[in-house]
Structure 1
Amino acid sequence: MIGISVFYVLIFLLAIPGNLVVGLVICLNNQPLSSSDLYLLHLAVADILLAVTLPFWATSVTLGWVFGDAMCKIVSILQELSFYVSILFLACISVDRYLAIVRAMDAHKVSRKLVNWCVCAAVWFAGGLLSMPGLLNSATPSTNSSNGTHLTVCTEHYNPSSVQEWRLATRVLRHTLGFAFPLIVMLLCYGVTMRRLLHTKDGFQRQRAMQVIVAVVVAFLVCWTPYHVTVIIDTFLRAKIGAYKCPTRNAIDRAMFATQSLGLLHSCVNPVVYAFVGKKFRGSLEKVIKKTGVLERASTSRPSRSSSMEMTSTII
């Protein structure tokens, strides 16, 4: 349990700086905000919100939930909100890359900008609705089966007469809108995008763009597939489809902790995949740092690379 707590704190320490850098670079960039930059900015905000909840869960793993019932609901809703919003913005970015590369749409048209902001508002609104089951979470006394200690936990608290129905409904939403739907959108959009990139003449830019696309899909699958598979198994076992004895239950509980931790790690991976791997972002980051004077001495000792760092919006 202490290892899980330390892992949560480590994710918090990694996710906050990385996503803050992404947000600052996008906000301080003098160029007009493109659709991909707008979605990336909102993705960074969502990942920061998710990371903010981790110290609470890290504390609860070792000391129990000591923050009260109201904070249990607030933190649960905030985690669910950031979870859905983050994954939905991943899907939005894949659609935006498809429109920019395959459809070659102008991202700077006024009407397109209005649509982008409406999409952002819709994603946050949808995330807010989908996070409402967090209101059913409450601080509940619990006994640790391994050592007999009594701790308060922040967990789901359904009506006993309808617990199976509520749990099934919330998990179906999580599996469909929080995994299957974004994954299908990403695979379709990136699949068509990669097919178009294979026919481009610039081999270097094609290779860079395809590397980012592959990294996006692989990171999403590696981080979230084990968690959703584990939750599906747990749902089947709770529905009495299979033996659910104490050893199996304990193994599933440990697997839930481990795979959820892997999923939370995705908030650290997002800035690396979408920002630091992308050459366009690195160029913007270098410009922002130069404005502060940190690279002024280094820039005078070698030729400027600003022109080579300028990339079109078709490359992530």
Structure 2
Amino acid sequence: MMELSKSTGEADLSLGMGVRVAASIILGATCLIGIPGNSIVIWVILSKMKRRPSTVLLILNLAIADLVVLLTLPPWIYSINNGWTFGEPSCKVVAYLIYCNLYGSVFFITLMSVDRFMAVIYPFASQRWRTERSVCKVLPVVWALAFLFAVPVILLVKVQTIDGKPTCKDDKSDLKAQQITSLAMETFIGFVIPLTVLAVCYAHVIRRVSQMTYKSKNRTEMLIASIVIAFVICWLPYHVFNVFKFASLMVNSDSGAFRVLENVSEVGSYITGALAFFSSAINPLLYAFAAKSFRNGFRSPVMVKIFEQMAQSTKDEYAMERFKTTKMGSIQDL
């Protein structure tokens, strides 16, 4: 379970007012940056682009997932200082929405890397399925998987009273096995497996792109690589502390090791949870920087140009491969 909910429980009471204020500021800034940014990305793609290649469709769904996550943050920010006063049903619904869209965000970033891998390494073969119609068939499957993997959180979270405050957090009383299962899914399906796919795809893409010379390759590949790097930076610390939490669940709850591991995971997850949420706000900033001028980056014509260059880069990759194939065939004919 994302440890932001713990900020309304034991952790925030023990860490003091300063940490609560800092967390509120970080999460508030995340909302102020991410909600308008992702909204603009969605608006530009839907209203300004007649043709949406596969990469742009994935960016659209990534922005939708990130926007929904960020829209759930205001009640968490309020609860950091005032407790969860919205009732248990809303606690479960909001936690479920967060997990659905966080899984979706991870899956779409992974698919973007696979999409670039196919475009660069297998440009001929990928032309058959890297179309708007084909990607639209894949998207419902991805969302269905995200909804499915988020189900365990409904069973785990509940409103509990801690030090006189209602708190929306994991129920540790009788659900240890479910916690272990949920944590393993979150770590492996939500990070380890996607990170492995990202590493393999981009190892091949970087090697292949270094051999190419066409003009549009740099911005497209660097933009998507930046999204992947931001994903790793934002999520790696959180999952490192997830390992401590997993270890605390595996040892005897009466031992000194359990108390040490639990304290480390509580404090670490509290800090890194805010960074993980920032991952949902950072991608629009990357699109803006890709426009060379941050001041002009959120203007719709510039955003459209960035996304159209992604489509053009795919055409260039296909043309380059076709040229090489034709040239090799001519040489063999001689």
TM-score (structure 1 length as normaliser): 0.82
**Post-superposition shift, 1:76?**
0.5
Distance 1:185-1:64 versus aligned 2 partners, 3 A rule: same
| Residue 234 of structure 2 is aligned to residue 223 of structure 1 | yes
* Residues 1:14 and 2:33 are matched in the alignment: yes
- 1:237 correspondence with 2:235: no
- 1:73 to 1:112, Cα distance in 2 relative to 1, 3 A: same
Q: State the Cα distance separating 1:211 from its structure 2 match.
A: 3.0
1:10 deviation in Å? 1.4
Give, as a single letter, the amino acid of the residue that structure 1 aligns with 2:166. Answer: T
Cα deviation, 1:135-159, whole Å, max 9, x if unaligned, reads 221111112xxxxxx1111112266
Matching of residues 100-249 of structure 1 within 5 Å = 100-105=119-124, 112-136=131-155, 137-143=157-163, 150-157=164-171, 160=174, 163-202=175-214, 205-240=216-251, 243-244=256-257, 249=262
Query: Quick one: percent identity of the two aligned structures?
Result: 25
Structure 2 residue 44 is the aligned partner of structure 1 residue 37: no
TM-superposed CA distance for 1:66, in Å, is: 0.5
Equivalent position of 1:267 in the other structure: 280
Distance 1:263 1:290, change over 3 A: closer
Distance 1:152 1:253 in 2: 18
Answer with 237-246 or 106-115: which moved more.
106-115
**Structure with bigger RCO (C-alpha 8 Å, 6+ apart):** 2
Contact 1:25–1:285 (8 Å) recurs in 2: no
- Measure the CA separation in 1 of the matches of 2:312 and 2:191: 26
Deviations 1:61-114 (A, max 9, x none): 110100001100110000001110000000111111112222225888688333
For 1:268, the aligned partner's letter is A
Residue 57 of structure 1: which of 69, 76, 91 is its match? 76
Q: Is the 8 A contact 1:98 1:190 kept in 2?
A: yes
Q: Which of residues 105, 115, 119 is equivalent to 1:96?
A: 115
Q: CA deviation at 1:11?
A: 0.8
Whichever residue aligns with residue 240 of structure 1, its letter is: V
Instruction: Give the Cα separation in 2 of the matches to 1:288 and 1:230.
Output: 42
TM-superposed deviation, 1:9: 1.6
1:188-237 Cα offsets, whole Å, 9 max, x none, are 112111111011123x5444345334423321221001100101112102
Q: Distance in 1 between matches of 2:282 and 2:263?
A: 29
Q: Are 1:29 and 1:284, in contact at CA under 8 Å, matched by a contact in 2?
A: no
**Secondary structure of the structure 1 residue equivalent to 2:256:** coil
1:263-300, Cα deviation, whole Å (9 max, x unpaired): 11101112223x334459x9996564899xxxxxxxxx
The unaligned stretches of length 5 or more in structure 2 are: 1-19, 315-334
User: SS of the residue aligned with 1:313?
Assistant: helix
Q: Against the structure 1 CA distance between its residues 168 and 206, is the aligned structure 2 distance closer, same or farther, given a 3 Å change threshold?
A: same
Say if 1:32 and 1:226 are closer, same or farther in 2 by CA, change over 3 A.
same
Match of 1:146 in 2: none
- Aligned residue pairs total 290
Deviation at 1:243?
Answer: 3.4
Letter of the 2:75 counterpart: F
Inter-partner Cα distance in structure 2 for 1:93 and 1:14: 23
Cα RMSD of the aligned pairs, angstroms, is: 3.0
CA separation in 2, counterparts of 1:90 and 1:67? 32
Tell me if structure 2 keeps the 8 A contact 1:279–1:311: no
Q: For 1:286 and 1:254, how far apart are their aligned partners in 2?
A: 40
> Closer, same or farther in 2 for the Cα pair 1:237/1:287, shift >3 Å?
closer
Q: Match of 1:236, as an amino acid?
A: A
CA distance in 2: counterparts of 1:230 and 1:83, whole angstroms? 18
> What is the TM-score of this pair, normalised by structure 2?
0.78
SS of 1:21's equivalent in the other structure is helix
Question: Amino acid of the residue matched to residue 201 of structure 1?
Answer: T
Preserved contact between residue 65 and residue 105 of structure 2 (Cα < 8 Å)? yes
Show the counterpart of 2:311: 313
SS at structure 2 position matched to 1:311:
helix
Residues 312 and 88 of structure 1: is their aligned pair in 2 closer, same or farther, counting only changes over 3 Å? closer
Q: Which runs of 5+ in 1 are unaligned?
A: 144-149, 292-305
Alignment partners' CA distance in 1, 2:182 and 2:243: 12
- 2:274 matches 1:276: no
User: Which residue pairs with 1:254 in the alignment?
Assistant: 267
Residue 312 of structure 1 deviates from its aligned partner by: 5.0
